[in-house]
């Protein structure tokens, strides 16, 4: 990592202190910067708060608790920066969705869509961060969604049903178009046209155009209706929100950004959003969303963005 000789922001100070944890002069300079304004304190606190947010996202706690050099920082608050540095590095890595793609048959790392044509004529569109394994034989067509979400346009073949599995959920079709999402035990399937037989554990449902079946992390099922034309609009870099939670809309936009976006204000996250956004310019979409709700965006680097209420 390149040494920063004249840090000016919280993220630059974090990097500088990580590089030179025993530099007493640097630590004194940091304390002067920290005490200079409430704004500096607020920036530093938000950066440290990433540790707690990382825990909330279910990241590996062991990464945060690994031994790291920690200087004693004096000033207006007793601050421990070592864990935040670990969180910063881990967030960048996790945020790019690289883990599943290392062993998957197909993956869409980074912030780009990936379109895949299968040997039977079926087509799959992977959303950014998605990964799948494919297993075809003379009697079966099986796909496992390892991470993220994907849209399937399945070629009809009554002799070989098409099966998609995602974290315990299974969807079986002959020929149809549908979207499947998987996210840490939560998963869902939404049908654009055709018929899908989907289920998890003891639940099994027949879904038709506009039907959506979602499972929570504890296995509870919720069936709902959606407009078929709104299903998987991300394939065309579009997002339509209709009374959706602010945090959910941010998550949709975040998938098309290279780093990680976190809403730090719970009340802001629960606000509802109605509007249309272009995902081919996710930075502009995020700015427009935040502006419409009086939210504040703080970009600590190209990899980490925090959104809070004013």
Q: What is the chain written as a DSSP string?
A: ----SS--SHHHHHHHHHH-TT-HHHHHHHHHHHHT-HHHHHHHHHHHHHHHHHHHTT--HHHHHS----PPBPSSS-B--HHHHHHHHHHHHHHTTHHHHTT-SEE--TT--EEEE-TTS-EEEEPTT-EEEEEE-SS-EEEEEEEEEEEEEPPP-TTS-EEEEETTEEEEESS-EEEEEEETTEEEEEEEES-EEEEETTEEEEE-TTEEEEE-TT--EEEEE--GGGTTGGGGTEEEEEEEEHHHHHHHHHTTSSSEEEE--HHHHHSEEEEEEETTSHHHHHHHHHHHTTEEEEESSSSEEEEEE-
**Structure confidence by residue, pLDDT tens digits, 54-111:** 555 444 334 433 443 444 443 333 333 444 444 455 444 444 444 566 789 999 987 8
Across residues 178-193, what is the average pLDDT? 90
Q: What percent of the chain shows pLDDT beyond 70?
A: 80
Residue 79: predicted pLDDT = 38
**Structure confidence by residue, pLDDT tens digits, 205-240:** 999 999 999 998 888 999 999 999 989 999 999 999
| pLDDT higher at 185 or 201 | 201
Across residues 7-35, what is the average pLDDT? 80
| pLDDT higher at 38 or 262 | 262
Across residues 152-181, what is the average pLDDT? 93
Structure tokens at 147: 């991470």
**Structure confidence by residue, pLDDT tens digits, 292-304:** 999 999 887 778 8
Rounded-to-integer distance, Cα 107 and Cα 173, Å: 23
* pTM exceeding the 0.75 threshold for the entire prediction: no
| pLDDT higher at 21 or 179 | 179
**Structure confidence by residue, pLDDT tens digits, 242-288:** 889 999 999 999 989 988 899 988 899 999 999 999 999 999 999 99
CATH number for domain 237-309, candidates 3.30.43.10, 3.20.20.10, 3.55.50.30, 3.40.50.620: 3.55.50.30
Residue 74: predicted pLDDT = 39
Domain assignments of the chain as residue spans, ordered by start: 10-95, 104-229, 237-309
Is pLDDT of 125 > 70? yes
Overall CATH class of domain 104-229:
mainly beta
């Amino acid at each position: 990592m390149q040494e920063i000789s004249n840090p000016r922001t919280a993220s630059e100070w974090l990097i500088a202190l990580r590089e030179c944890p025993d530099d007493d002069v640097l630590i004194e300079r940091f304390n002067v910067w920290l005490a200079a304004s409430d704004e500096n304190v607020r920036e530093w606190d938000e950066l440290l708060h990433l540790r707690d947010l990382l825990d909330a996202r279910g990241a590996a706690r062991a990464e945060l608790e690994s031994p790291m050099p920690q200087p004693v920082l004096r000033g207006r608050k007793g601050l421990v920066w070592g864990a935040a540095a670990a969180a910063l590095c881990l967030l960048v890595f996790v945020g790019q969705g690289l883990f599943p793609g290392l062993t998957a048959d197909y993956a869409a790392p980074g912030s780009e869509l990936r379109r895949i044509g299968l040997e039977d004529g079926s087509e799959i569109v992977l959303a950014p961060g998605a990964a799948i394994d494919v297993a075809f034989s003379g009697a079966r067509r099986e796909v496992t969604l390892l991470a993220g979400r994907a849209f399937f346009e399945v070629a009809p073949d009554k002799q070989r049903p098409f099966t998609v599995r995602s974290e315990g959920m299974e969807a079986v079709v002959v020929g149809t178009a549908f979207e499947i999402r998987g996210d840490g035990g939560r998963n869902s399937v939404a049908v654009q046209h055709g018929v899908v037989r989907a289920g998890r554990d003891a639940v099994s449902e027949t879904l038709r155009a506009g039907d959506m079946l979602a499972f929570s992390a504890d296995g509870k099922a919720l069936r709902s209706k959606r407009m078929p034309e709104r299903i998987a609009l991300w394939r065309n870099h579009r997002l339509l929100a209709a009374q959706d939670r602010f945090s959910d809309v941010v998550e949709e936009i975040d998938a098309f950004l290279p780093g990680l976006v976190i809403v730090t204000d719970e009340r802001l996250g629960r606000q509802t959003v109605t509007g249309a956004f272009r995902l081919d310019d996710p930075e502009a979409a995020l700015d427009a969303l935040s502006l419409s709700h009086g939210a504040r965006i703080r970009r600590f680097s190209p990899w980490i963005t925090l959104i809070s209420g004013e």
